[in-house]
Amino acid sequence: MCLNGWGGKLHSALLPYVETTAPDILCLQEVIHSPESKKDWLTYRDGDHTLPQRANFFRDVSHALPNHVAVFCPAAQGVLWDEDEPIPSQFGLATFVHRSFPIIGQVQGFVHKDFSPVGYGDHPRSRSAHGIRVYDYTAKRTVSVTHMHGLRDLNGKMDTPERTAQARRFYNLSCQVSEPEDVVVVCGDFNVEPNSETLAILTNAGMTELVTGRGFASTRNTQYKKPGRFADYMAINQKEVVKEFDVIHDPEVSDHCPLVLKL
């Protein structure tokens, strides 16, 4: 499962959904980790833009998946607010892997900029990626899964030189954690349109993109009020091993739809 968790804004729906579905591998973007705070909620402020954030979203999802190994990958540390008190808080992505799957390789890196240790930084902000390689005893094969949260450009989701460089770095990270015989999956909130150069780079590398390739009309739900219905994608190098793929619109657990792949 791949999902942008929207900072845990809909945690009351998201946590039961994750606990019930318990995907073998969960790739979660937009994850908050505030280790110095015991608060449930803090507030993100960026000019006139404010957004409630689940202060320890990483901890919450970890508790919902007690049989998974959890890895948090921060992109930046800035502050969230408890009324007028600033609280140090890390922003990034996380990967959860069921303990029955040995993790035999990992890669973590940045697809845009580098770690921002003091403040979230200017837009477009730092973005990280994480890849894992596991052994599947049932199918007797190795599988690598790499995900990223693509940079957000305030001007929109169009192609830019930064996004092209980001896509190449992302694919290179996937290659670092993969071997030639592996089933290779890449996914995430890419923050681009379906006709983007990002997807072209993945397609030219031999990946099959599943969202647009299987005719899904959107990866957004009614929580998302802006134009543009795509942000999230998933691609695989061996399309013949896909047993099922779906974009989940119900329940709504974020303003993004979960992408669910069964091999």
Instruction: Spell out the domain ranges in the chain.
Output: 2-262
d(CA 213, CA 207): 11
pTM for the model: 0.97
Label residues 231-243 b or e (16+ Cβ within 10 Å = b): bbbbbbbbeeebe
The predicted structure's pLDDT at residue 228:
85
63 neighbors 40 (Cβ within 8 angstroms): no
The helix-helix angle for 11-21 and 57-64 (nearest 10°) equals 30
Per-residue pLDDT of the chain (263 residues; tens, 9 = 90+): 999 999 999 999 999 999 999 999 999 999 999 998 999 999 999 888 898 999 999 999 999 999 999 999 999 999 999 999 999 999 999 999 999 999 999 999 999 999 999 999 998 999 999 999 999 999 999 999 999 999 999 899 999 999 999 999 999 999 999 999 999 999 999 999 999 999 999 999 999 999 999 999 999 999 999 988 999 999 999 999 999 999 999 999 999 999 999 99
Q: How far apart are CA 13 and CA 184, in angstroms?
A: 30
Supply 147's token pair. Answer: 């995900």
Sheet holding 232-236, edge to edge: 103-112, 127-136, 141-149, 183-189, 232-236, 208-209
* Burial label, 215 (beta-carbon count in 10 A; 0-12, 13-18, 19+): exposed
2-262: CATH, from 3.60.10.10, 3.40.50.720, 1.10.10.10, 3.50.50.60: 3.60.10.10
Backbone φ/ψ region at 188: left (φ over 0), alpha (ψ -120 to 50), beta = left
Name the residue among 192, 99, 95, 188 with its Cα closest to residue 148. 188
**Cross-strand bridge partners of residue 76:** 91, 116
How would DSSP label each residue in 176-234?
HH--TTSEEEEEEE--S-TT-HHHHHHHHTT-EEHHHHTT---SB-TT--SS----EEE
- Could you please report the per-residue DSSP string of 81-132? EETTEEEEEEEEEEEEEETTS-EEEEEEEEEES--BSSSS-SSSPPEEEEEE
Eight-class DSSP state of 174: H
Structure tokens of 44? 């993100």
Q: What is the pLDDT of residue 12?
A: 97
Structure tokens at 247: 């974009």
